[in-house]
């Protein structure tokens, strides 16, 4: 595995190996697999616009896709998982760097809480 942005996205965010299998991995596991330091991994992710600081602030429902991917991994073939990962990655890239509006999300939660009768 090299520095391909799609493969890095799959491994770091979806837990998909190049063979199309799901395997939980953290930054230390991934760096060791690639014979890199964690810092080199983070720099490479940053270079591809995939650093966690960037991704968490992007208007993209990553947690939902991570859960969907983990569930699909229980039943789907490696080929179908790769196709699913490609769709997730393309949707992520299609967001074009749209940033999350944290203040709007907090205000929306407040509105929702008021509507449910919470204070």
Distance from C-alpha of 3 to C-alpha of 109, rounded to nearest angstrom? 39
Which domain range does residue 54 map to?
A: 5-115
Asked if pLDDT for residue 102 goes beyond 80, the answer is no
Asked if pLDDT for residue 110 goes beyond 50, the answer is yes
Please give the average per-residue pLDDT across 78-107, as a whole number. Answer: 84
Asked if pLDDT for residue 106 goes beyond 80, the answer is no
Distance from C-alpha of 50 to C-alpha of 73, rounded to nearest angstrom? 22
pLDDT value of residue 109: 83
Q: Which of 108, 103, 22, 4 is nearest to 57 (CA)?
A: 103
pLDDT value of residue 99: 67
Provide the b/e sequence for 88-111 (b: ≥16 CB within 10 Å). Answer: bbeebeeeeeeeeeeeeeeeeeee
Q: Are 58 and 95 in contact (CB under 8 A)?
A: yes
Question: Which stretch of 22-31, 51-60, 81-90, 91-100 has the lowest confidence by average pLDDT?
Answer: 91-100
pLDDT value of residue 113: 85
Q: Return the number of other C-beta atoms located less than 10 Å from residue 11's C-beta.
A: 22
Kindly write down the DSSP assignment for every residue of 4-71, as one continuous string.
Answer: -HHHHHIIIII-B-TTS-B----HHHHHHHTT--HHHHHHHHHHTT--HHHHHTBS--HHHHHHHHHH
pLDDT 10s digits, 19-35: 999 999 999 999 999 99
Check residues 103 and 47 and name the one with the higher pLDDT: 47
pLDDT value of residue 97: 60
pLDDT value of residue 60: 87
Asked if pLDDT for residue 86 goes beyond 70, the answer is yes
Asked if pLDDT for residue 1 goes beyond 50, the answer is no
Report the domain count for the chain.
1
């Amino acid at each position: 595995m090299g520095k391909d942005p799609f493969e890095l996205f799959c491994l770091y965010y979806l837990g998909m190996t190049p063979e199309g299998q799901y395997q939980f991995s953290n930054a230390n596991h991934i760096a060791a697999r690639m014979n890199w330091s964690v810092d080199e991994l983070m720099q490479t992710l940053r270079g591809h616009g995939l650093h966690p600081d960037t991704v968490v602030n992007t208007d993209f429902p990553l947690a939902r896709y991570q859960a969907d991917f983990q569930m699909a991994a229980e039943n789907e073939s490696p080929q179908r998982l790769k196709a699913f990962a490609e769709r997730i990655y393309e949707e992520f890239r299609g967001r074009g760097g749209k940033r999350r509006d944290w203040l709007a999300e907090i205000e929306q939660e407040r509105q929702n809480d008021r509507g449910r009768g919470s204070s």
